[in-house]
Structure 1
Amino acid sequence: MNQTRPGPVQYAVLALLATVFLYPIWWAVSSSLKPAAEIISDPLSIGALTLDNYRAMFADVPIGTGFANTALVLVVRGAMTMFFCPLAGYAFAKYDFPGKNLLFGVVLLTLMLPTLVLIIPLLLEMSALGWVNTYQALILPGSIDAFSIFWMRQTIAAIPDELIDAGRVDGAGEFGIFAKVVLPVIRPGLAALAVLTTMNVYNDFVWPVVAVNDTSHQTLQVVLATLAQNVTGNRIGADFATVWGELLAAGSIALLPLLVIFVLLQRHFINGILAGSVKG
């Protein structure tokens, strides 16, 4: 098949877009390595490099605690999402049972509810269970969400029924068919779900700031949001430039995990995104 190769104009447009998207990241990282005063006085220059902002940030802000709490929530909640949501999607895609369409419609209806609408009911539920200021409150709500179920249902629905029937003929059990037949086929979709789940959990701010109000359970995003308050509270006479220097240092460190995950899984992520749009 003849394919048109991108020309110089297309490459120029792509280079321009890449510059627009990458420049803020480059500026934030480079500015975090500058003396705090220069960030305000000459924000576009590249002067002497220093790690003072990072040293001060680690001394003033419990960013290590935020990373540890976020990692714990991400691992446990991500494992629950990656285990239960594909199973639910498989049931909706390949099984017939009474009320299936109605139940799936109810699941889809929950996607229309804004997060803020659910905050008060969830907080009341956590309070009734005695889970406020606990890891359970950070992990369990939203660990099995409607979008992930819908995503897995659409991905698994594209698998031919004959492939599953062949597994049954070979004597495999239902869970064995799911583990040995379905999962290898939907790996791109699982990789895309893993990236999306990681981004959602890592960037979540509204629910952690409501469910937890003690510093020992604060996630990274809550720590970053209260960074200015922590800096000015821990250091007498801290000025605006100092806050900006430490904020950029913390933001640069917080950026690294997501950047690494996306670079490692970008091929699977793109394949998973495109899988549902290709009919074979």
Structure 2
Amino acid sequence: MTTRIARPAPVPGRSRALPATIGSQAFLLLLALAFLAPVAWALISAFKPATQIISDPVGLDLTALTLDNYRRMFADVPIGQGFLNTAVVLVAKGAITLFCAPLAAYAFAKYRFPGRDLLFGMVLITLMLPTIVLIIPLLLEMKALGWVNTYQALVLPGAVDAFAIFWMRQVIADVPDELLDAARVDGAGEFGIFTRIVLPVIRPALAGLAVLTVMNIYNDFVWPVVVASSERMATLQVVLSTLAQNITGNRVGADYATVTGELLAAASIALIPLLLVFVALQRHFINGILAGSVKG
């Protein structure tokens, strides 16, 4: 007597799903390489001699690698002052955004008061206004206050961002009202409810907002270049935009190759802080982006 071992029935669609998954991963890998290739080229070329960057852009001679571009860049460009100004603005403006936006969102999401929807709609309308439309009125206001070329002008305008309020409001709206009511019954104050109940729940979304806020402030160029025209108050992005003029102005006979090498060196230095922040907080950033996307 022979015994037949029953084989499991094939799962419908499984054979087709595997090639589709491999194809998707291959496409994403190619897309990632396309995005990373220019960054990798800039980082590597910053260590090449200036003349070699122009004569042989894609070649790489490991024996010719040098730090000359970085030495000349630090001597010609006040990039340290740009980093300092950006750090001050980043800490002050980021703290205001991450403190005020969740509080405003909590009020819009959980309180009922006359004109709430109208006021929230006005906040959303500001998202539709191009930044260029607001520059002239804001600049006139800063001039009237005597804040041109000051940290106040760099920090306060736009510190409470409408997008941050909208995002936090959508996340806080999913917090069960029963948790808040139970805390009120136990005698907790409103600010205590926010800090002890709401904040731990929305922490992933708040971490994602922190990453986006850091990126937006760090990369901001239009407003700083308008309101902080002096070299003493220039942020990093403004310093990078005037690199070529600073290099040619500080060195007689600086050619195109020299300028290119120092530009790549400065861009590489500017990339490091943002890259470190994203690598350190990428898990929180992804969780924050997904926060509130799953209902139930």
Q: TM-score, normalised by structure 1?
A: 0.97
1:160 equivalenced with 2:176 (yes/no): yes
Equivalent position of 2:54 in the other structure: 40
Match for residue 196 of structure 2 among 172, 177, 180? 180
User: What RMSD, in angstroms, separates the aligned Cα atoms of the two structures?
Assistant: 1.4
Q: Computing the radius of gyration over CA atoms, which structure comes out larger, 1 or 2?
A: 2
CA distance in 1 between partners of 2:284 and 2:185 (Å):
31
Aligned identity (percent) is 72
Can you list the C-alpha shifts for 1:177-201, whole angstroms capped at 9, x where unaligned?
0000000000111011101110110
Can you list the C-alpha shifts for 1:158-212, whole angstroms capped at 9, x where unaligned?
1111111111122111000000000000011101110111011000000000001
Gaps of 5+ in 2: 1-13
Gaps of 5+ in 1: none
Letter in 2 for 1:239: D
CA distance in 2 between partners of 1:166 and 1:252 (Å):
52
Cα displacement (A) at 1:273: 1.0
Can you list the C-alpha shifts for 1:77-121, whole angstroms capped at 9, x where unaligned?
000000011000000000001110010011011111000000000
CA distance in 1 between partners of 2:160 and 2:70 (Å):
37
Number of aligned residues: 279
1:122 equivalenced with 2:138 (yes/no): yes
Alignment of 1:1-280 (within 5 A): 7-47=21-61, 48-280=64-296
CA distance in 2 between partners of 1:72 and 1:8 (Å):
46
Cα displacement (A) at 1:9: 2.5
Can you list the C-alpha shifts for 1:31-63, whole angstroms capped at 9, x where unaligned?
000000011000001122110000000000000
Q: TM-score, normalised by structure 2?
A: 0.92
CA distance in 2 between partners of 1:8 and 1:279 (Å):
30
SS at match of 2:171: helix
Can you list the C-alpha shifts for 1:109-160, whole angstroms capped at 9, x where unaligned?
1111000000000000000000001110000000012111111111101111
Letter in 2 for 1:265: L
